[in-house]
Amino acid sequence: MSTENRKYIYLAVVVVLIAVSFGAGFFYGAIEKLPHSVQGIINQEFGKPKEFDFSLFWEAWDKLNEKYVDQNKLKEDKLLYSAVSGMIKGAGDPYTVFFPPQESKSFKQDVSGSFGGIGAEIGKRNGFLVIVAPLEDTPAQRGGFLAGDKILKINGEPTDDITVEEAVTKIRGEVGTKVTLNILRGNDGAKAKDIVIERAIIKIPITKLETLKNNKIAHLSFYSFTSTAPFEFQQAAAKILATTGYKGIILDLRNNPGGYLEVAVDIAGWFFDTGDLIAIEQFGQSEQNQKTEFRASGLGALKNYPMVVLVNQGTASAAEILAGALRDNRNIKLVGDKTFGKGSVQELINFKDGSSLKVTVAKWLTPKGVSISDHGLEPDYKIAPTEEDIAKNKDLQLDKAVEILEKMLNK
């Protein structure tokens, strides 16, 4: 598959409920005609699978139009969009979604513009709508959301059968207004609770650098792979290099929902030699399908520092790619909790009537060929904080990372 003139969605999980400008991120493909209305049933043969009998669909269509009691409620375009949506859902992929014209317009506005939100990224996991990551210093984080929280209701409405995009529409809104999310945390037996959040325009810090253990350890938190991240990471890296006391680095990718792949490869250049493999993009599942390799290009200025990486359930997409590359290529230990498992690429296809299809076209593999999708990355040292730990501001994951790094420094 040619990548010329194509820009894919490398965003972590479909839509971020924040106010940022994502810029480009889609491939607008050339497509055939789609009838605006099925009135008169045109283009019936277009794209029809050769060995599949569609008579059931047309029979059901005819019977519905013949028998349904409220004929005036049967709108042919609505029936068509519902049928297409049902077909797309049959793929079983929460990231492959059909948008009727109005939803398509809203989706593009969400990804290219600014809007009020709560500062959390959401996705689907095992049929549940979940918090992928509450972003740093946002209403969602201050309100107590945690990565992995299941969203059962939005303003009292169940989320069982809604898509991520539909949930986003319900959660976002005018700045200063409030939204109530009913969330379930933990395993069976846990009780759901309501959290009321006030919507706001969100500004997220990209990096935060702290000094630990008598200036020996640089604790570098990295929150998102946005278009401005390379510049901000460069500033943080320059501070590390200019501080003679630093002997090791803890790279903190917890609650980093990812972002652009190109940014992940750019950041990787600080930790790898030029030409080192960072990630593999695989189209299709067979070995014959095309694979694209992404390699580091940079000076590797931080590659000689002993290092540990912190991850959790909110580590997704580009953040998982970087963490996986550091472990595969440099045997760097991951500490924390299992990552989210968002390792796929979506392509946005526009149709003539204003509707669109967001379809998964590829998956990401680590340098050793491990698929990130669905499974995520298992940490080398699994540390799962309890609610009591969180309430007392105990960071057992960071404590473990410091312990491991100190042992490395004392060898």
Catalytic center residues? 317, 328, 342
**d(C-alpha 365, C-alpha 18), whole Å:** 28
Q: Of 184, 132, 156, which Cα lies nearest the Cα of 314?
A: 132
Please give the full DSSP string across 134-154, using - where no structure is assigned: EPTTSHHHHTT--TT-EEEEE
Taking each helix axis from N to C terminus, what angle separates 164-171 and 101-112, rounded to the nearest 10 degrees? 70
Residues 346-377, buried b or exposed e (16+ Cβ, 10 A)? bbbbbbebebbbbbbbbbbbbbeeebbbeebb
Taking each helix axis from N to C terminus, what angle separates 261-268 and 318-330, rounded to the nearest 10 degrees? 30
Judge whether 308 and 332 are in contact, CB under 8 Å. Answer: yes
CA dihedral (77, 78, 84, 88) positive or negative: positive
Residue owning tokens 């189209």: 283
